[in-house]
Amino acid sequence: MPRSGPEGADPTEIFPFPVGQPPPNDRAYFEMLSWFVFGSGLNWKVMRAKWPNFLRAFSKFSINKVAMFGDDDVDRLLADQSIIRNGRKITGTIANARAIAAIVREHGGMTPWLRGYRGDVPTLIKDVKKRFSHMGDTTARMFLTCAGAIQYQTWEPTPRQRQGKP
């Protein structure tokens, strides 16, 4: 795991979960994945401050509950000022719950599914980007690194961050 993160912060300050090791269960994988979906493009301090509200709004990231969310739930979440109200990220998170539920059915869980790649990192990253909503190359790498599935050593500020822009 990289030694320091944005703004020189230690990764343990940034994320509300342990990093660099497999989460203890599929619910925790879903929470971690959702952190990266909503956190993409945002300041980590904002995410840390709002994260307890996300836990409430998304039923503590219960895969089965969120997978059953419908239009009324999307409307409720879009109206919830205590979370980040991005409709595409909200619907993407619901789709991700359904994708994880399918992985659990097909492979017995996220950990066995990830282990099935046997070190084939490019294929794993490609599949994460394909299966999950709002996963680009960097976001997929960071999620997989935090989940202990790969080693991703680049934790450098982007050119925009070096210029002092968000």
At 96, give phi and psi (nearest 5°): -65, -35
pLDDT at 2 over 80: no
pLDDT at 4 over 50: no
Question: What is the reported pLDDT for 10?
Answer: 75
pLDDT at 3 over 50: no
Question: What is the reported pLDDT for 82?
Answer: 97
Answer whether 82's CB lies under 8 Å from 57's CB: yes
Question: What is the reported pLDDT for 34?
Answer: 98
In a domain? residue 57: yes
Torsion from C-alpha of 121, 2, 104, 116, nearest 10 degrees = 30
For 92, counting Cβ atoms within 10 Å of its Cβ (0-12 exposed, 13-18 middle, 19+ buried), the class is: buried
* Residue 84: both structure tokens together: 């980040």
Question: What is the reported pLDDT for 111?
Answer: 96
Euclidean distance between CA atoms 11 and 81, whole angstroms: 27
Note the residue count of the chain: 166
In a domain? residue 5: no
Residue 119: count of CB within 10 angstroms of its CB: 9
Structural domain range at position 61: 24-154
Least confident of 82-96, 98-112, 142-156: 142-156
In a domain? residue 140: yes
In a domain? residue 120: yes
Torsion from C-alpha of 96, 15, 46, 155, nearest 10 degrees = -100
CATH, residue 38:
1.10.340.30
Euclidean distance between CA atoms 91 and 108, whole angstroms: 25
Q: Where are the beta strands (DSSP E) in 4-162?
A: none
Indicate the number of domains in the chain: 1
Question: What is the reported pLDDT for 102?
Answer: 98
pLDDT at 119 over 70: yes
pLDDT at 1 over 50: no
- Higher pLDDT, residue 144 or 156: 144
Residue among 103, 95, 104 at smallest CA distance from 66 = 95
Question: What is the reported pLDDT for 41?
Answer: 86
In a domain? residue 126: yes
In a domain? residue 18: no
Kindly report the average pLDDT of the chain as a whole number.
88
Euclidean distance between CA atoms 19 and 1, whole angstroms: 8
In a domain? residue 162: no
* Residue 15: both structure tokens together: 């994320």
Question: What is the reported pLDDT for 165?
Answer: 53
Percent residues over pLDDT 90 in the chain: 70
- Label residue 38 by pLDDT band (50, 70, 90): very high
Whether the full predicted model's pTM is greater than 0.95, yes or no, is: no
Least confident of 7-11, 17-21, 101-105, 121-125: 7-11
In a domain? residue 60: yes
